Structure 1
Amino acid sequence: MEGYYADEAASEFTDIPATDTPVWILGVKYNALHDAAQIKKDICTKIWVTYRKGFVPIGDTEGITSDKGWGCMLRCGQMVLAQALVNLHLGRDWTWSPETKTAEYLQIIHRLEDRRQAPFSIHQIAQMGVSEGKAIGQWFGPNTVAQVLKKLVKYDDWTSLEIHVALDNLLIINDIRELCKTGGISWKPLLLLVPLRLGLNEINPIYIKALQNCFKFHQSLGIIGGKPNMALWFMGFMGNEVFCLDPHTTQKSGTIGKKETEDEILVDLTYHCRKAPRMNILTMDPSIALCFFCKTEKDFNDLCDNIKEHVVTSDNQMLFEIILNKPTAYFSESFAESPKHSPNLTKHSEDSDEFEVL
């Protein structure tokens, strides 16, 4: 069995060095020396989505039955969406255990399962990717998976989310308020994705502090990114290292059902991992998407304030721009058409080639 009880080595949690170095995981600060148990529980609670095999074919009856080698970025998108749904329906402080049967939790897993009917299954994401110019079985980049998820959430009322993808390195506050404020009054929870390219072949070190600051915001849902040839979901950092969940494990497809049978219980275990690899932040691929969740308008206003104070710090180091209203001359719907752009960020006309078939 993969995942939670994969093998003897995986029966131990990720090693957390016993130092006073702060550990940040999606807006929560821990002390590596004193909070090891809480860090491990937080990591294991995260919904881990990996390659699967043996699912119903994507497309026709002769279609693809495994996403091994091409679905890593799609799986990272599922992980970010899953965490947004956990924060919305269960709360950021909710924790998972092998005995968990919470109705909301089961609903979230059902939406990710490898079934054609599941709203955010590999089938739905891959097929919606066709509208973004990606053939079924072709890898995605961060921007593509963001655009696909934005379309798919429109078809699932229970999810109760709006997704905004901030293009052209530009976050326009009033565009988001217009999107999320139903009838100009009620706020609909927001999953905000900001695709960026922070260098040519590697991340420019001048952006590291701002990236680390993003993990500290309580609205943080981490970073969709990776390293050459593999997509990863980064969910925190410790010193100059980032923690990630890695989708590059191929597990058998299955359903969690009501988590009553032995098989259903075992399937649930495959969605949780005791290992969160660490890597130097400078080895991250420069093509990323920052991810944030704002349950309320107050959350969004607070996020904007934090971005202005800790991310948009100077013309030389700003990750992206944040403004109140769309510029008069602004007409772009894609990176390729952008009339405005932060001077130190390389223009990103489409998903880069860094995420290749393994």
Structure 2
Amino acid sequence: MNSDNLARIAGRIYRYIRDPMPHNQHDDAIWCLGRQYDSHPTSSDPDSTQPQTPPAASRPAPSATSDSIPADSAATPQKEDEFEKVQVPEATNDNGWPPAFLDDLESRIWLTYRTNFSQIAESTDPAASAGYSWKTHITQLVKHGRVFTDDVGWGCMIRSGQSLLANTLQILEFGRDWRIGESSDAERKLLSQFADDPEAPFSIHRFVKHGANACGTQPGHWFGPSATARCIQALVDEHSPSGLRVYVRPDDASVYQDSFMRVARDSDGSFHPTLVLLGTMLGLHGFNTLYKEGVKAALRLPLSVGIAGGRTKSSHYFIGTQADHLFYLDPHETRPLLPLPLSDADIATCHTRRLRLISFEDVDPSMLLGFLIRDESDWDAWKAAIQSPPPTGFKSIVHIYDTEPSLGGDASTEAEFERAMADVQSCDEDEGEAIV
């Protein structure tokens, strides 16, 4: 009996019993990356099961011409034995959730912990092991190793960042209306960029290498939003997928139009699609509910590509909201490596129909917000939405200014900057708020 298979099946059974699919218990509208769904659509109204797309989100989706991808999102190992044939029920009962919403959820790219990938060497610095979690310490002791062949216990913020970037590219290349089963060859090409292989441009190996070289985050250490944002920026700048560029404010959620345009525009004035990444900390000792409506508003924007955040030292990838809850994809599912080349079964492990939600009171305040600005009309629409005042009694989480302040610059601009910083606390990874 294969011990890895035993662990996977036991994990499935445990999760199925302990953490069942939640029920839809609210009448509030459901939102998923800017798309709105009726919580309880009536079967007599065919339009009620379709997403309601704000005008600013309208984009033609590429035609679906390729073979379909299996919709089964259960983990499938590369080699099957008799024990692996044991089946644990997935969440086949929709529990009152609108099918159109679950179709949207299932079509998002979901990247998780992986095992048995090629080695990532530990840091040669003797002090590096001091930054390991207790779980990583124990794992390394048991393995008697100086290398990592999985990212269990330390890589979930990297996986959340990969998910955010992968869904950005999916929306950019396929359109927001893309659904699982369409354009499988194109999706295979996209996901191959995130394979657990040192040659893949957005592999965990590349994230860890840049994190160590540029951010001081060693292999096996927890990544925070700031390090994750910097890694995404550097890797995208190096490989330029679909002409994408990245504008990063890793330690605050203030956007400056002049510096943004320097990233998004070429010297001839042509505009490139640009991923905006904003690291912020919405509270000091826990999530400050004054920012709750701001987080909801961010996920309702048509240009949202989600939020990498989660619980303290446990990252999730937030993609939607209903009432006072957030929907998320959880990277803490352990699967065999995503290899090159990818099979249909490998691709299926990057999708799930299993819904997870969390209340705001359980959310860690440290977050990485993502928005995809494809052209100047997107910029104008996003800027107008961000500058709309929040509901009475709540605070904005993103601020936009014309020019970036500098030392010795205009006093009024710097005063404006200081007021923004009083509203939204910057993310300081040295204070122990890093998320895995």
Q: Is the 8 A contact 2:245 2:273 kept in 1?
A: yes
Deviation at 1:9, TM superposition (A): 4.8
Residue 37 (structure 2) aligns with: 30
Deviation at 1:289, TM superposition (A): 1.4
Corresponding position: 1:181 with 2:265: yes
- Separation in 2, partners of 1:68, 1:328: 41
Q: Report matched runs for 1:99-118 at 5 Å.
A: 100-118=182-200
Write out per-residue CA displacement over residues 38-95 of structure 1, whole angstroms, 9 at most, x where no aligned residue: 1111111111100000001124895211000000000000000001100111011101
Q: Is the 8 A contact 1:18 1:33 kept in 2?
A: no
Letter in 2 for 1:325: T
Corresponding position: 1:275 with 2:354: yes
From 256, 263, 269, the equivalent of 1:172 is 256
Residue 329 (structure 1) aligns with: 407
- Separation in 2, partners of 1:183, 1:25: 36
- Separation in 2, partners of 1:295, 1:326: 22
Corresponding position: 1:205 with 2:289: yes
- Separation in 2, partners of 1:203, 1:48: 25
Q: Is the 8 A contact 2:252 2:424 kept in 1?
A: no
Write out per-residue CA displacement over residues 236-284 of structure 1, whole angstroms, 9 at most, x where no aligned residue: 0010010000000110013263x6xxxx222111111121211102211
Write out per-residue CA displacement over residues 211-248 of structure 1, whole angstroms, 9 at most, x where no aligned residue: 11111110011211111231001100010010000000
Q: 1:33 to 1:19 in 2, by over 3 A?
A: farther
Corresponding position: 1:63 with 2:147: yes
- Separation in 1, partners of 2:101, 2:283: 31
Greater C-alpha Rg: 2
Q: Report matched runs for 1:1-358 at 5 Å.
A: 9=16, 14-15=21-22, 17=24, 19-34=26-41, 35=49, 36-59=98-121, 63-97=147-181, 100-130=182-212, 131-166=214-249, 167-255=251-339, 257=341, 264-310=343-389, 317-329=395-407, 340=418, 341-350=420-429, 352-355=431-434
Q: 1:315 to 1:151 in 2, by over 3 A?
A: farther
Letter in 2 for 1:52: R
- Separation in 2, partners of 1:25, 1:49: 18
Q: Is the 8 A contact 1:225 1:285 kept in 2?
A: yes
Q: 1:330 to 1:171 in 2, by over 3 A?
A: farther
Letter in 2 for 1:249: E
Question: Bigger CA drift: 178-187 or 278-287?
Answer: 178-187
Q: Which runs of no fewer than 5 residues in structure 2 stay unpaired?
A: 42-48, 50-97, 123-144, 410-416
Deviation at 1:316, TM superposition (A): 7.0
Q: Is the 8 A contact 1:53 1:66 kept in 2?
A: yes
Deviation at 1:148, TM superposition (A): 0.8
- Separation in 1, partners of 2:309, 2:109: 17
Q: 1:157 to 1:65 in 2, by over 3 A?
A: same
**Ranges of 4+ aligned residues in structure 1 off by more than 4 Å:** 6-10, 13-16, 313-316
Letter in 2 for 1:295: R
Q: 1:356 to 1:84 in 2, by over 3 A?
A: closer
- Separation in 2, partners of 1:48, 1:88: 17
Q: 1:215 to 1:254 in 2, by over 3 A?
A: closer
Q: 1:352 to 1:242 in 2, by over 3 A?
A: farther
Deviation at 1:157, TM superposition (A): 3.3
- Separation in 2, partners of 1:169, 1:46: 25
Letter in 1 for 2:39: A
Matched residue of 1:186: which SS? coil
Q: 1:356 to 1:347 in 2, by over 3 A?
A: closer
Q: Is the 8 A contact 2:315 2:435 kept in 1?
A: no
Q: 1:104 to 1:16 in 2, by over 3 A?
A: farther
Q: Is the 8 A contact 2:217 2:223 kept in 1?
A: yes
Q: Is the 8 A contact 1:321 1:342 kept in 2?
A: no
Q: 1:142 to 1:119 in 2, by over 3 A?
A: same
Q: Is the 8 A contact 2:386 2:398 kept in 1?
A: no
Q: 1 or 2, which has the higher helix percentage?
A: 2
Question: Bigger CA drift: 101-110 or 210-219?
Answer: 101-110
Percent sequence identity over aligned pairs: 27
Aligned-CA RMSD value: 2.6
Residue 61 (structure 2) aligns with: none
Instruction: Compute the TM-score of the two structures, normalised by the length of structure 2.
Output: 0.72
Instruction: Compute the TM-score of the two structures, normalised by the length of structure 1.
Output: 0.87
- Separation in 1, partners of 2:406, 2:344: 55
Matched residue of 2:387: which SS? helix
Q: Is the 8 A contact 2:281 2:366 kept in 1?
A: yes
Matched residue of 1:53: which SS? strand
Deviation at 1:344, TM superposition (A): 2.9
Deviation at 1:314, TM superposition (A): 8.4
Q: Which runs of no fewer than 5 residues in structure 1 stay unpaired?
A: 332-338
